[in-house]
Amino acid sequence: MIDQTSRLRLARQVRLKLDPRSGKQMLLYPERGLELNEIAARVAGLCAQERSVARTVAEIVDEMVAAAAGTPRERIETEVLEFLRALEDRGLLAVQKTGPHEPEDT
């Protein structure tokens, strides 16, 4: 199960694309797809390149603070992590666990 120290990116054959019919972002993979809401699409977009979960969460939190959304950081962290785990459960993420002494991001 992924946690803050995991590094991840979208798995091979997973594409983030705009559905012209609904105007919503979709995560597409063979035979299936996920229609994402705005925040989910933002998180998925951050997963297009490999990065740590902690960094992904930090970027989302920073955006929310900048937008004065007033949402507690703990709630954002928890819900982003739950969303990422839902993607992982469906095999949509390539996940690497980092060791305790490895640098967080280079």
* Shortest distance (Å) from residue 102 CB to another protein: 27
**Rounded-to-integer distance, Cα 98 and Cα 45, Å:** 22
* Shortest distance (Å) from residue 11 CB to another protein: 12
Please pick, from the candidates 1, 3, 18, 35, the single residue that binds another protein as defined by CB under 8 A: 35
Site string for another protein, 37-66 (x = CB under 8 A): xxxx-xx-------------------xx--
Q: Classify 96 as helix, strand or coil.
A: strand
Which window, 3-11, 21-29, 50-58, 97-105, contacts another protein (CB under 8 A)? 21-29
Q: Which is nearer to another protein, 22 or 106 (CB)?
A: 22
**Rounded-to-integer distance, Cα 47 and Cα 53, Å:** 9
Nearest to 97 by CA among 37, 31, 38, 52: 52
> Beta partners for 101?
none
How is residue 7 written in tokens?
């590094």
First to last CA, the chain: 23
Q: Which residues contribute to the site for another protein (CB under 8 A)? A: 12-13, 15, 17, 26-28, 31-40, 42-43, 63-64, 67, 69-71, 75-76, 79-80, 82-83, 86
